Chain A
Amino acid sequence: QKEVEQNSGPLSVPEGAIASLNCTYSDRGSQSFFWYRQYSGKSPELIMSIYSNGDKEDGRFTAQLNKASQYVSLLIRDSQPSDSATYLCAVNKGTSNTGKLIFGQGTTLQVKP
């Protein structure tokens, strides 16, 4: 079992729809969770972080965390073609919160006009 798992996609949604990206992790001691966006040929860029169970909203983005189910998700409302990218889920490994991140393989999102 991979430490951080994501569906590679591609996930295709029409412009204006809600895109739902999912991530599961294996280390129950993980404390911090991040979503990075990576455009083709570019470097990853942080878009959301979440540390507590529940929802965290920032503009069109909502991160959801369920530690009991070891599940993190990212919702993108009113999806735009500019949201087309690969979304990487990252988990801080272990209870020591040392800053070490484990990344999932990423989910490719395609938003069609």
Chain B
Amino acid sequence: DAGVIQSPRHEVTEMGQEVTLRCKPISGHNSLFWYRQTMMRGLELLIYFNNNVPIDDSGMPEDRFSAKMPNASFSTLKIQPSEPRDSAVYFCASSLRMDIAGGKETQYFGPGTRLLVL
């Protein structure tokens, strides 16, 4: 079975350009997470969705970042305009939340998108 799919795997862009990262979660999973990883800040949760609904976006750094999940099999993370400090590896992860309480489910990570903003 295919894991979490992310595209593109690498992105190099210039400051001010719009960047769109894409994620296809594991089929049947109902929770989706976007993370950012840098050497300085480690792995940070940006936003997560449950049943396509954004539940917590408190990690989104500023208004330049937006995320959508139009259906259960697709999500995007958009940065507009991009800045050099956005350079990082962006991971998408998905999980299957079995009950209301949640919290014990395994998150499966995609391969990540390495973003470099010049």
Chain A contacts to B: CB under 8 angstroms: 31-32, 42-46, 49, 51, 88, 92, 96-106
Contacts and interface: CB of A to CB of B under 8 A. Distances in A.
Interface of B is mostly: strand
Contact of A97 (B33, B55, B95, B103): B103
A100 B45 contact: yes
Interface of A is mostly: loop
Contacts, number: 58
B61 interface: no
Given A99-B50, A100-B45, A102-B45, 6 more contacts: A42-B111, A96-B101, A99-B48, A99-B97, A100-B56, A101-B107
B31 interface: yes
Output the residue of B44, B55, B103, B109 with the most chain A CB within 10 A. B103
Interface of B: 31, 33, 42-45, 48, 50, 55-56, 91, 95, 97, 101-112
A101 B95 CA distance: 12
Contacts of A104: 42
A80 to B, nearest CB: 23
B103 A44 contact: no
A99 B99 CA distance: 11
A87 to B, nearest CB: 12
A99 B95 contact: yes
A32 to B, nearest CB: 5
Nearest to A8: B42
A95 to B, nearest CB: 9
12 contacts: A43-B91, A43-B112, A45-B109, A46-B107, A49-B106, A96-B101, A97-B101, A99-B33, A99-B48, A99-B97, A99-B102, A103-B45
B106 A99 contact: no
